[in-house]
Structure 1
Amino acid sequence: MPGARSPVGASGPQVVTISHAGFNRAWAAWIGDRLERRGLSVVHQRWYPLDDVPLADYLRDLLLAPGPVLVILSDWYFQLGPRSHDEWNHALRTVVEPARDRFAAVSVTTAPLPSATTVFAAADLTTVGETEAERRVLARLGLPTDPVPPPVHGDTRRAPRYPADIPDVWGGVPRRNTRFTGRETLLGDAYEALQAAGRGAGVVTLHGMSGVGKTQLAAEYVYRFGAEYDVIWWIAADKRVTCRQRLAELAPALGLSTGVEYGERLRAARDALRRGDPYSRWLLVFDGADEPDQIWDLVPTGPGHVLITARNPEWGEHNSTLLEIPVYDRDESVAFVRRRAPRLSYGEAARLAVALEDLPLLLDQTAGWLNDSDMTVEEYIELLRGGIDQDVVRVSADFPLAFQTGWSILLNKLRETVPESVDLLRLCTFFAPGAIPVRLVRDLPPDTLPEKLRGLVADPVRWTRAINKLRQYAVVRAAGVGEREVRDQIGDVGPGLPGDTLYMHRMVHQIVHQDMPEQDHRDFIEVVRRALVAADPHRPTDTRLWPRYAEITPHLKWADVLRSTDPGVHTLVLNCLRYMYLSGEYKAGIKLGGRALAAWKTLLGETHPRIWDVGYHYANLLRAVGDYAGTEAIERAAYEQLRAERGPQDLEHLRAAGGLAASLRHLARYDEAYEISRRQYAAYRELLGEQDTRTLNAQNNLAVALRLFGRYEEALDLDRRTLEARRLLLRPRHNWTLFSEINYTTDLRLLGRYPEAESLQSQSVRVHRIVMGRDNPQTLRAEYNLAFCLYRAGDRVRAGELFSQVLESCERVLGDHDPLTIMFAAGQSCFAREHGDIDQAREISEQVVSRHLELLGEGHPYVTGTRANHALILRGVGERDQAHVLIENSLAGMTAAVGERHPWTLGCAINASALRSLVGDPEGAATLTGETIARATEALGRTHPLTLSARIAHAADLRGLRDAQRAEKTEGEALDDLAATLGPQHVHTVAARSRNRPYWDFEPL
């Protein structure tokens, strides 16, 4: 019958899969050994389901194994995840019940389990001895329960101990942490390293920072693998005297005959361990052995194993295998927090893990406090920003020392041994937590530094000693190799000294920063400010230098640069704001710009020149995220005040004019924006000449204004001149040059010169991706323009892929409501309407209209234009009357907004004529297309694609009026012009020849 298994042993050795939680590894090892001694093959499957995969899927995966599946049931098996009993019951009934003949189970717990676990008919192993437990396992699997046959000659392996039995010698081991989470790979690595080591070399050191859970990991190792040892002895190894004492106490526990003098007992114990007599399977744990120089000679050699926990990685110099213990993986953090604080949801646990950077000790003590509190996670995280206070943590038996207390003890110890390491540590706290580029301080002239740092920075030996001491105590660690590789690529650093970049945990950073004398605070913050100023490459527009700015900007807040009156610091802030704008770091830039504007008004005065500087950059950032009204207010105030104080030819005033014109363009106040841009361009030409970068920027912006007017030929001429000049003055790969390429190809495309536009934009996209990165907003603009070029050129497959890709990227990088995302969504909706899923197109289109309305307000041409696009979707799904009303309103609205001869209005008219024809108004349709042809010819020329579309549409309307002669003539002339302009096989030409009525898509620019 399907799903039934053959009797065990009926056809030779059979495979049994044992599914177990890592917590129950000892049981799995013992059961597996019992089965293997009877000739069966055993596969161990560690059970560790993740939250984002249904339980039923994991259980079905077990059925893929050959033979029976033996599940070791315990509360740990069901807590991993963790999952509710209801979810477990549903999965067990869905998967296990129909395949109960494939599953067997044993229970090793007395804790309550989900009610549906009765489907397993589990054998209870909790209250029986080894012989009876073995019999029950065999019986549950349908195996003979006869005594195990004698071992094969030469088989000398030792069987794992029955898990309910403790080793013959057991001392000092902490209680097992029933909330222990994850660390499966680390436990496996430690086990493999000890098993693979030769005699006398079985030493593994678990090292890492305080609070990372080294002791907990060592204890779990003991419980998980303890069945393989006859002796387990735990030693507190923070001091040599206590270490010697605990080793001496091992002698009587081993049954050694010695005198009462503890030195004699110590020698006897070490000799017995070395010889492996009376026990060769021993495990010693040296916990907290942070000073290897003091106790390395006490570590025994012999056939057994030694496990060491320490902050200090120098155990690697004493024949120990090092395993660094990192903070939790995020999944481990979330699972642990939800065990410690069951009231928290997955999302709340994740937010707490992010705030505490996954440090186990802090997660334990904060989650423990939160679980008994009504405070929200958000409130609690905000509270922790002020420091880890004893009143808002709960100390548990598993992590008995409060985080702050433990670090205070460690800092005192450092202060007593290597005081300059504490100075360096305090200095580091004026950089942001995380990766700290301390080499920036070393690059400063020593004579500019405070006395206590001068010798440290100038002396490589002292510097290295201080760094090494911090690393020995795991206060900091070396940053990743990849960071140094980046610095090498940009020519920022040579071979350097150890500790060029250090990593410090956020909470360690916080504690050290709080515990600092006032004089150190004043001295060290100035040092870091000067280091950041010296690191400024002063060219934020140079994409090659962006990695340097990316390294500098996180540290501005921690160095409190906005309180400085140093002009060099002000320049640094302004350059970083410019970098943030160009690189797309808008949110961080807005936060910095807003704080700088407020701080500098107080510090420097309302009319200080720096206020105009920071206001300009701040406004650029606000405009990038769509805050056009707020931007206009800032820029108009600067524009008017500077004009009144300094006159219309002042360079600061002209810069403010450019920003104001940009905001007015976004607000659709095109006439005023054009006039300001025209005056600005003329003034720059007179003052600076045609080849100055500011003149070229003004020329670029004037072309934008012309494009928005629909004057595409004029825009093309200006953009061509700007592009050529930038290629000469800057370089072909400069980001401004690349931006000019986007503008120039946009003009070409809007003029119907599709092959030229696609060719140049394809090349430009490749360069954008290399120079600016795939996620830069300007790169996304270039890709979006290429998608349109491909679409207009007839390559719909590539266009569709690129439309989707660029929208997804923009949503990920900038968010759903960013102006660029909304623009890309408009294009995606239009493409999906014609060549994809019209229901998806409708959903996207509704969002585009709504978000444009929210961002720009009623009456803006972008709102009107995207409503016109939506009318085409309504027409496509059969809602003709609604579509007709919407397109007529759009035509009226667009005419009012930009005039009757604007290409946007002409496009709305083409679409409106089609709806008039559909609802039975052929006369109105023909009149409208006739008027549109005249206006389009005047505005764009007889052979522009928009004019040609109007001519093809008018031919259709004439046929609707049964004026066949005029229809044929109009259509024939239009088809000839289409073939001559776009080519006889272009999709638009083919569609017109097939008498498919043309439509127009509004495209926000």
Structure 2
Amino acid sequence: MIRADQPLPGQATASGQRAIASAGGIGVAISGDGARVIVLPPEAVRWAQDASTPAGAGNLPGPASGLFLGRDESLLQLRETLSSQGEAAVTQTRAVHGLGGVGKSTLALHYAHRYRTEYTLVWWITAESPDQINAGLAALAGRLCPQLAAAAEQDERAAWAMLWLQWHPGWLLVFDNVVDPGDLRMYLGTLTGGHHLATSRKATGWYAIASTMPLGLLDPAASTDLLCALALGAQDVSAEQRREAGALARDLGYLPLALEQAGAYLYQTGIGMDTYRQKLGPMLARAVDGISPERTIARIWDQTLTAISVRDPLAVTVLHTLAWLAPENLPRSLLTHLAPDLHTLDEALGVLHAYSMVSFTGSGISVHRLLQAVLRARRPQDSGASPPGRHEAEQTILLALPSDQESVSAPSDQWQRLIPHVIALATSTPPGHSPDDAINSYLATAAYMRRQGQDVRAIPLYETTLAQREQVLGDSHPDTLSSRNNLANAYRAAGDLRRAIPLFETTLAQREQVLGDSHPDTLSSRNNLAHAYESAGDLRRAIPLFETTLAQCKQVLGDSHPDTLSSRNNLAHAYESDVDLRRAIPMYETTLAQREQVLGDSHPDTLSSRDNLAHAYQSARDLRRAIPLSETTLAQREQVLGDSHPDTLSSRNSLAYAYQSAGDLQRAIPLFETTLAQREQVLGDSHPDTLSSRNNLAHAYQSAGDLQRAIPLYEAALAQFEQVLGDSHPGTLTSRNNLAHAYQSAGDLQRAISLFEAALAQCKQVLGDTHRVTLIIRDSLDDAYEAARVQQRSTATLPIVKRP
């Protein structure tokens, strides 16, 4: 071989770029540093011109026989881009970038396998550095020209491969895991006879190199399919297993490599998916048969973090801070305390974005939730120190919260932007970590959410606060008892009475012991427990407790104290629930008059009294007083509380029911539909109030003669009542009775009678043989029996039915 170390006149190149040319049978290449040329002799040039590719020539790193779900559209998009020009002399380039583990290399591998017959040669090059690219091209020369490989050095073999690629079109070069897009500039500009496909974790730097194809996550259905196939093998997948797989796939963020790693581990160890979820962060660092330890999610991201820390150590701090907050839409302004100035912060975020570790949205910064799980699982070398980023995250929230003076008047959108991040901080508290400073942010946020009727969303804040106070203050400290009471109230608001009632009972017993029987906080606990009993349909325990509490409130606090008025209102409501309107209505009227005088006309408690009185009038069939009062209350609640506050939704539901009672279905049905949609959004699909709305809308449809819409809605409501409140809850019994009526209206007497009989048996057991609801259902069953006898006489198809 002949080598010449001299500059190439008139040619400027960037570091790490090479060019190749031929003249007079001599091949000339620019060296990797742009300062030398490599000259190939005539025989090497002839070999490059004459060498042909063996059938199926290529060096793909693995087969494409594994599961590959949810990426067909990406494959077609990739093929269309690479082939769009239709001219062999024009190289179509495509860079596929995304977060480590998203499946860039897998997509490139499947593309190469699927379309390999369309190319004369498919060559895979590891492209993390210019030297690796050079080595990959040298290996190509060794494959195509063994006689050259025996005599030439690596640079010469790479130069020969470049010359061969120029003379032989129709190939595909895959540059895998490109770190610096600039490393490909000369290759893409010089080699124009085939296709270039690059993969990279870098999202930036491609605009002057190649068009880009950001590769997203798998969709939920494909992720669940992949996880089931990997973890459960060929066995039939039950609905419960698929539900668990869907939940794990969601926790894994629909990231393909994480799904593959989890599925393989589950299949190999036989552990349950819920167990894997509970230890998600550490699990992602574990290797398993078939997956190299270097390819675990944790290892891949470690490599990226190492590269980032070299470029900008602040970027690593920012990323660790983001790990403890909500994964989406963190306002950039919240992170300014981490950097000396905004420009420095912007540069750190830019580095994270370049490596696909964060993304930018119109409303803030987002980070993949699985990356958060891996980062949270890291523990500091000093066992007494906080995990990386935890202290910074707590300070981020504390600095962003409105002050005590501003908390009430702070704009709603300011709170709404912060709430997801406060909740994420609370739910990610590391074991053994005492978030003393963060507790203040949890309390302030929970107080705002309570004012907005969002106690259900605040449950994680109440749980974390209670755990911290039990640990620091002790089990019976007054602040601990307040936290326990707040959590129980939130459980009750969520309809979770199985957790709420025992917590209320415990709190009451402790307050009686610590504070005394007549302390205002003890009275509050007693009232809350009675309310929970009523919510559970246990009026035999609720009413005496309400009566006792009211008597004590009047004695200790006075007749017009707000707490006394609340107690009187609650007792009236219990009387109404027990269908004792002769005692309920006067008590409601008295309470409303006192609240108007003491609290004012538009106070939320006054509005509650007004709404309750309207409902009682409606129960008494006094619609002339009920409807105007309901309309007034709804308008006031919309103005004072907002359109989607739970109390506003309650007023809207009450007014719709009043319209229906008056026979005005044209106004009732749209109002029921609106209320149901809002409750599903605000309270959730299975909240008791949402279930009541679903039942009420079904009843309105039935009243309008639309059984096709009524029956499925009744069935859905009953199934959810049974699941959420239990089989014998009064709400469940009412729902069962309503569905039976709908079946009877549809002529399906066999199902109607069966449902009536079940409802009657449960009512007699739970409510007693003489309870109003029991009597109503008995009458309904008698009507169904009579209808069945008539039908049996006319068709002779139904069996004789007898009342039990």
Q: TM-score, normalised by structure 1?
A: 0.58
- The equivalent residue for 2:62 is 175
After superposition, the Cα gap between the structure-2 partners of 1:291 and 1:512, relative to the gap in structure 1 and judged at 3 Å, is: farther
Residue 656 of structure 2 corresponds to residue 787 of structure 1: yes
- Of 178, 192, 195, 1:305 maps to 195
Which whole-Å deviations, capped at 9, do the CAs of 1:351-372 have from their partners, x for residues lacking one? 4423422222222233234334
Residue 92 of structure 2 corresponds to residue 202 of structure 1: yes
Structure 1 unmatched runs, 5+ = 1-164, 445-455, 485-499, 899-903, 920-1005
Which whole-Å deviations, capped at 9, do the CAs of 1:54-112 have from their partners, x for residues lacking one? xxxxxxxxxxxxxxxxxxxxxxxxxxxxxxxxxxxxxxxxxxxxxxxxxxxxxxxxxxx
Q: Read off the aligned partner of 1:437 and give its amino acid letter.
A: L
- The equivalent residue for 1:459 is 341
**Paired residue secondary structure (2:283):** coil
After superposition, the Cα gap between the structure-2 partners of 1:540 and 1:338, relative to the gap in structure 1 and judged at 3 Å, is: farther
After superposition, the Cα gap between the structure-2 partners of 1:645 and 1:216, relative to the gap in structure 1 and judged at 3 Å, is: closer
- The equivalent residue for 1:408 is 302
Residue 229 of structure 2 corresponds to residue 350 of structure 1: no
1:752-767 aligned within 5 A: 752-753=623-624, 755-756=627-628, 759-760=631-632
Which whole-Å deviations, capped at 9, do the CAs of 1:948-989 have from their partners, x for residues lacking one? xxxxxxxxxxxxxxxxxxxxxxxxxxxxxxxxxxxxxxxxxx
Counterpart-to-counterpart distance in 1, 2:753 and 2:56: 87
Counterpart-to-counterpart distance in 2, 1:882 and 1:388: 50
1:703, distance to aligned residue in structure 2 (A)? 5.8
Residue 350 of structure 2 corresponds to residue 468 of structure 1: yes
Mark the structure with the bigger radius of gyration: 1
- Of 549, 553, 556, 1:676 maps to 549
Give the conservation status (yes or no) of the 8 Å contact 1:780–1:810: yes
Give the conservation status (yes or no) of the 8 Å contact 1:790–1:796: yes
Counterpart-to-counterpart distance in 2, 1:874 and 1:330: 37
Give the conservation status (yes or no) of the 8 Å contact 2:227–2:263: yes
Counterpart-to-counterpart distance in 1, 2:247 and 2:724: 32
Identical-pair percentage: 20
Provide the aligned C-alpha RMSD in A. 5.2
Residue 423 of structure 2 corresponds to residue 558 of structure 1: no
After superposition, the Cα gap between the structure-2 partners of 1:299 and 1:864, relative to the gap in structure 1 and judged at 3 Å, is: closer
After superposition, the Cα gap between the structure-2 partners of 1:283 and 1:892, relative to the gap in structure 1 and judged at 3 Å, is: closer
- The equivalent residue for 1:284 is 173
Which whole-Å deviations, capped at 9, do the CAs of 1:12-47 have from their partners, x for residues lacking one? xxxxxxxxxxxxxxxxxxxxxxxxxxxxxxxxxxxx
- Of 360, 380, 387, 2:283 maps to 387
Q: Read off the aligned partner of 2:259 and give its amino acid letter.
A: L
Q: Read off the aligned partner of 2:181 and give its amino acid letter.
A: P
Counterpart-to-counterpart distance in 1, 2:533 and 2:278: 39
Counterpart-to-counterpart distance in 2, 1:627 and 1:478: 37
Residue 487 of structure 2 corresponds to residue 597 of structure 1: no
After superposition, the Cα gap between the structure-2 partners of 1:300 and 1:724, relative to the gap in structure 1 and judged at 3 Å, is: farther
**Paired residue secondary structure (1:171):** coil
Q: Read off the aligned partner of 2:64 and give its amino acid letter.
A: N
Give the conservation status (yes or no) of the 8 Å contact 2:549–2:567: no
1:755, distance to aligned residue in structure 2 (A)? 4.2
After alignment, is 590-599 or 836-845 more displaced? 836-845
1:373, distance to aligned residue in structure 2 (A)? 4.4
Give the conservation status (yes or no) of the 8 Å contact 1:173–1:234: yes
- The equivalent residue for 2:359 is 478
Residue 255 of structure 2 corresponds to residue 359 of structure 1: yes
After superposition, the Cα gap between the structure-2 partners of 1:369 and 1:205, relative to the gap in structure 1 and judged at 3 Å, is: same
- The equivalent residue for 1:420 is 314
After superposition, the Cα gap between the structure-2 partners of 1:167 and 1:650, relative to the gap in structure 1 and judged at 3 Å, is: farther
Counterpart-to-counterpart distance in 2, 1:560 and 1:594: 14
- The equivalent residue for 2:380 is 516
Counterpart-to-counterpart distance in 1, 2:753 and 2:164: 95
- The equivalent residue for 1:534 is 399
- Of 320, 345, 350, 2:210 maps to 320
Counterpart-to-counterpart distance in 1, 2:758 and 2:430: 58
After superposition, the Cα gap between the structure-2 partners of 1:261 and 1:609, relative to the gap in structure 1 and judged at 3 Å, is: same
Q: Read off the aligned partner of 1:551 and give its amino acid letter.
A: H
1:676, distance to aligned residue in structure 2 (A)? 2.2
Q: Read off the aligned partner of 1:525 and give its amino acid letter.
A: R
After superposition, the Cα gap between the structure-2 partners of 1:250 and 1:588, relative to the gap in structure 1 and judged at 3 Å, is: same
After superposition, the Cα gap between the structure-2 partners of 1:596 and 1:343, relative to the gap in structure 1 and judged at 3 Å, is: farther
Which whole-Å deviations, capped at 9, do the CAs of 1:816-863 have from their partners, x for residues lacking one? 875435644664676577645598799789879978995777xx8x78
Residue 478 of structure 2 corresponds to residue 609 of structure 1: yes
Q: Read off the aligned partner of 1:175 and give its amino acid letter.
A: G
Which whole-Å deviations, capped at 9, do the CAs of 1:422-477 have from their partners, x for residues lacking one? 33333333335x33737475354xxxxxxxxxxx5223343333323333333x22
Counterpart-to-counterpart distance in 1, 2:343 and 2:458: 40
Residue 107 of structure 2 corresponds to residue 217 of structure 1: yes
- The equivalent residue for 1:185 is 73
- Of 315, 318, 324, 1:430 maps to 324
1:554, distance to aligned residue in structure 2 (A)? 1.9
Q: TM-score, normalised by structure 2?
A: 0.70
Counterpart-to-counterpart distance in 2, 1:656 and 1:420: 49
Q: Read off the aligned partner of 1:752 and give its amino acid letter.
A: L
After superposition, the Cα gap between the structure-2 partners of 1:372 and 1:477, relative to the gap in structure 1 and judged at 3 Å, is: same
Counterpart-to-counterpart distance in 2, 1:756 and 1:477: 54
Q: Read off the aligned partner of 1:478 and give its amino acid letter.
A: S
**Paired residue secondary structure (1:204):** strand
Q: Read off the aligned partner of 2:266 and give its amino acid letter.
A: L
1:621, distance to aligned residue in structure 2 (A)? 1.8
Q: How many residues align?
A: 698
Which whole-Å deviations, capped at 9, do the CAs of 1:697-742 have from their partners, x for residues lacking one? 6676466456545232542564477579878666xxxx77875674
After superposition, the Cα gap between the structure-2 partners of 1:181 and 1:263, relative to the gap in structure 1 and judged at 3 Å, is: same
Structure 2 unmatched runs, 5+ = 1-51, 787-804
Q: Read off the aligned partner of 2:136 and give its amino acid letter.
A: R
Counterpart-to-counterpart distance in 2, 1:851 and 1:224: 48
**Paired residue secondary structure (1:318):** coil
- The equivalent residue for 1:525 is 390
Give the conservation status (yes or no) of the 8 Å contact 1:594–1:618: yes
Counterpart-to-counterpart distance in 2, 1:227 and 1:713: 87
**Paired residue secondary structure (1:309):** strand
After superposition, the Cα gap between the structure-2 partners of 1:265 and 1:749, relative to the gap in structure 1 and judged at 3 Å, is: same
- Of 493, 508, 529, 1:624 maps to 493
Counterpart-to-counterpart distance in 2, 1:522 and 1:650: 42
Give the conservation status (yes or no) of the 8 Å contact 2:360–2:366: yes
Q: Read off the aligned partner of 1:672 and give its amino acid letter.
A: L
After superposition, the Cα gap between the structure-2 partners of 1:551 and 1:695, relative to the gap in structure 1 and judged at 3 Å, is: farther
**Paired residue secondary structure (1:323):** strand
- The equivalent residue for 1:229 is 119
Give the conservation status (yes or no) of the 8 Å contact 1:440–1:531: no
**Paired residue secondary structure (1:212):** coil
Which whole-Å deviations, capped at 9, do the CAs of 1:548-597 have from their partners, x for residues lacking one? 3233212212245995373x533433344456667787776556544543
After superposition, the Cα gap between the structure-2 partners of 1:847 and 1:805, relative to the gap in structure 1 and judged at 3 Å, is: farther
Ranked by relative contact order (alpha carbons within 8 Å, sequence separation 6 or more), the top structure is 2
Q: Read off the aligned partner of 2:289 and give its amino acid letter.
A: R
Counterpart-to-counterpart distance in 2, 1:221 and 1:550: 40
1:605, distance to aligned residue in structure 2 (A)? 1.8
1:614, distance to aligned residue in structure 2 (A)? 0.7
1:308, distance to aligned residue in structure 2 (A)? 1.0
- The equivalent residue for 1:160 is none
After superposition, the Cα gap between the structure-2 partners of 1:405 and 1:660, relative to the gap in structure 1 and judged at 3 Å, is: closer
Counterpart-to-counterpart distance in 2, 1:320 and 1:884: 72
Counterpart-to-counterpart distance in 1, 2:373 and 2:678: 34
